[in-house]
Each structure stands twice: as C-alpha cells, then as structure tokens.
Amino acid sequence: MITRRNFLKACAATGAALAVPALAAPAIAQGAKIKLGYVSPQTGPLAGFSESDAFNIKAFLASDAGKNFEVLVKDSQSNPNRAAEVAKELIVDGEIDLMLVGSTPENTNPVATTCEAEGVPVVSTMAPWQPWFIGQQGNPGDPASWKPFNYAFHYFWGLEDIIATYTSMWKQLATNGKVGGLFPNDADGNAWGDPKNGLKPGLEAAGFSLVDPGRYQNLTDDFTAQINAFKSDGVEIVTGVVIPPDFTTFWNQARQQGLKPKAVTVAKAILFPQSVETLGDAGNNLSSEVWWSASHPFKSSVTGQSSAELAAAFEAETKRPWTQPIGFVHSLFEVAANVMGRVSDPTDADAVAAAIAATDMSTIVGKVVWDGKGVPPFAAKNVCKTPLVGGQWRKKEGGFDLVIVDNSNAPEIPAAGKMEPLS
C-alpha cells in the first residue's frame, strides 16, 4: 500500500519531495521535536475517560523526557467515525511520528485501523484486547482469517481476566449463580456477549449461568425488557459493559421495577466516582473491575511518582477525585518516551514499530512488554496484558471510596476489604 508517509520517504530519497509543494517534507532536522498524536473522547458520553488528559499531558511535557516531544490532541467526540477522521488529520496534516489512543474500542479501534492502513505506529490502551483485536479483523467471525498487525500495538487486560476477577468477587457472596448480561450493540457489547468468545463459556466454567436478553442500542431510555428477563429467570447478579448514562437509566428503572440483585458488577459505567455519585445511596456496593488505583504498587518511569503520588497530584491540581484512566493515560506517554528513546530516526515507521515490539519496561500501571504472555498466538505480537483486580464503591461522607475487594488474580496489588452484598 502506498501511504502518504511512504510517498514522502520515497520522494526524499530521490530529492523529489521539494518538487511537490502540496506535501511538506518530513521534519528530521536536528533538534526537531518528536510529534505524538493523541485521540481521546473529550466530549460525549465517554468524556469521563479523558478527564485527566490535560493534567497528564502538561506533566509529561514538563518532564525531562517530555521536552523532546510535541503532543497534537484531537477530540473524537465519543464517535468512532470522528475518531477515524481526526486520526487521519493527525497523520496527513500533523505528520505525527507516533499515535497514542485509549478509552474503549469505540475510540481505539478506528484510530488503530487508520494508523495500520497508513503505516503509522500506534500504541493503544483502555480497551479489552478481544474487542480491540477481533473488532479490527476483516472477518471477526472467522478466527482462521485473523492476521497480526504491523503497526498497531495494545496493552490492557482481556475478557478472561474480567471473568476471573468478577467470578472471584461473586464467590464471596451466597448467590444462585444466575447472571444477567447487559450488552449493547457496539464493539464492547458484541465481544462480551459473543456466545463463543465472550463471557458465557468462562462464566459457565466457573459455575455460573448467563441470561442474555440480547443487544440494545446505546443511549436507550427503556430497559424494561432486560429487567423482566432478569426477574423471570431469577437473576441475582447483573453484569455487562455499559456506558454511564445507560447504567443510570437501567439501575433507576431496575429499582423501580423490583429487581433486587445481590451484586451488580459492570464495566465502563461505574469506573468514575461522579457516575456513582449521581446514584446517591443506590451507588453503595456497586462493583467493577479495577485496572488502576492510588494503591497500585507501581511508579512512573517519567516522573518517578508512585500511584498514590500521581493520584494526589491530580486531586490537588483539579480539585476532583482521582479516576482509573489517570494511570493509563499517563502510561501512554511513558511508553512513547521509552520507545522513541530507542530509535535514531523517529520518522522511520518500521523502526518505531520494531522498538514498540521490543519494549520491556515498568510503568505506573505495571509491566509493559509485548512478549505474548497470557495471550493466544494470533494476538501475541500485538497485545500485552496488564493486571486486574476487583473493587466496590463504598459510600462515605461527601462521596464514595473505591475499595479493592479481590486481588486473587494480581496479588501484588493489595486488597482492602471483602465483597459485600447490595442492600
């Protein structure tokens, strides 16, 4: 494939680039700053994921490592089509050397796909690896057709880790093992709800059964069908991957319609304290996966801050409570600094991709190394896994605390309590 980047390289080699005024030659002069593109949902229903962007980028650029970089930021508006569009703008107009992206498959996937097609290296996070990898395949229903990526690299956890963490939390409670699933018609929901590759097989292997009433559209205003299905099947646990406004709608309607589960453990929707705070007393003891917290025993390779210090710095500067994405947004820039510190020419996409693949470093979110550990062979080149624990929101005066209640799958991260049933 002839990409703009490849065209510029070819022209530069023949001295022809200067003869094409519409296309500027790449900036490789001594002292030129390395250009990082960054796409995040700064507006729309996923905006909570980007709350720490400005804080983290400011801190990175002020660090010794960050002085060598320029960061070009684009808002995806929580829209996959817009994410792809602004990614192309960063590549074509911004002439970036490396793309960074996070915040759910709706943001990571279109950006990574665009970068792969354009031959631009990209590092992504904050999306389970299955919807990230499988969701970008031409035929996601045919594993035999799946191909590794040349320029796209991802680090986070997978559905197998969610299953292990969720079931470990639920086994702390006395339940009938019936789990109701809330799966939207999007990349996350279709991956989580897939009967072969989603939650169902793993839940059954752990002694639980899944009640799946089917897909719903994001931003729906009526969950009566799901609630009735859960009530008729005697569901005592509710799980799923739900955007914040949809979970608020579901949980309010569930309580009004008499659904009283012993545990509600959902991804995405209640990652953020403000999402739980809007529920008032109804937020107490809701549970979720925890991918980063102030108590995680890791340090930044860029600033030297511990997780606790990074969280405290965010709260001091913004007057807002810390959130899980803070650590992972910070880590993206750690990885970028590490990778670009190992290449002689930041405009050489193949060299940058090779440097990403060879990464072996400690970050604020744990070890990042693309060694294929814990990942199926088809994804081993492109996916690195980070640790996952489980937590519950406990109401306190003035808000909520996120208490880690299960660390069985990542014992290096300390637990601070036990799972409690919903009242």
What integer pLDDT is reported at residue 191 of this predicted model?
Answer: 87
- Per domain, the residue ranges of the chain are 33-157+295-385, 160-290+388-406
What integer pLDDT is reported at residue 196 of this predicted model?
Answer: 86
For residue 268, the cross-strand partners are 242
For residue 99, the cross-strand partners are 37, 122
CA distance linking residue 284 with residue 43, whole number of Å = 27
Architecture field, domain 160-290+388-406: 3-Layer(aba) Sandwich (3.40)
CA distance linking residue 157 with residue 43, whole number of Å = 25
What integer pLDDT is reported at residue 197 of this predicted model?
Answer: 83
Buried b (16+ CB within 10 A) or exposed e, 223-260: beebbebbbeeebbbbbbbbbbbbbbbbbebbeeeebe
- What rounded mean pLDDT belongs to the chain? 91
The pLDDT of residue 9 is above 80 = no
What integer pLDDT is reported at residue 155 of this predicted model?
Answer: 98
What integer pLDDT is reported at residue 30 of this predicted model?
Answer: 53
pLDDT digits (tens, 9 = 90+) for 228-258: 999 999 999 999 999 989 999 999 999 999 9
* 411's tokens: 């014992």
Contact criterion met (CB below 8 Å) for 241 and 215? no
pLDDT digits (tens, 9 = 90+) for 215-228: 999 999 999 999 99
pLDDT digits (tens, 9 = 90+) for 301-331: 999 999 999 999 999 999 999 999 999 999 9
pLDDT band at 28; cut points 50, 70, 90? very low
Residues near 232 by Cβ (< 8 Å), separated by ≥ 6?
A: none
The length of the chain in residues reads 423
Helix H or strand E segment including 226: helix 224-232
* 267's tokens: 């991804």
Contact criterion met (CB below 8 Å) for 372 and 154? no
pLDDT band at 274; cut points 50, 70, 90? confident
What integer pLDDT is reported at residue 273 of this predicted model?
Answer: 87
What integer pLDDT is reported at residue 275 of this predicted model?
Answer: 86
Domain 33-157+295-385 identical in fold to domain 160-290+388-406 = yes
pTM over 0.85: yes
pLDDT band at 162; cut points 50, 70, 90? very high
What integer pLDDT is reported at residue 29 of this predicted model?
Answer: 43
What integer pLDDT is reported at residue 341 of this predicted model?
Answer: 96
For residue 363, the cross-strand partners are 366
Domain 33-157+295-385 has CATH 3.40.50.2300: yes
pLDDT digits (tens, 9 = 90+) for 122-134: 999 999 999 999 9
User: Beta-carbon neighbour count of residue 20 at 10 Å?
Assistant: 12
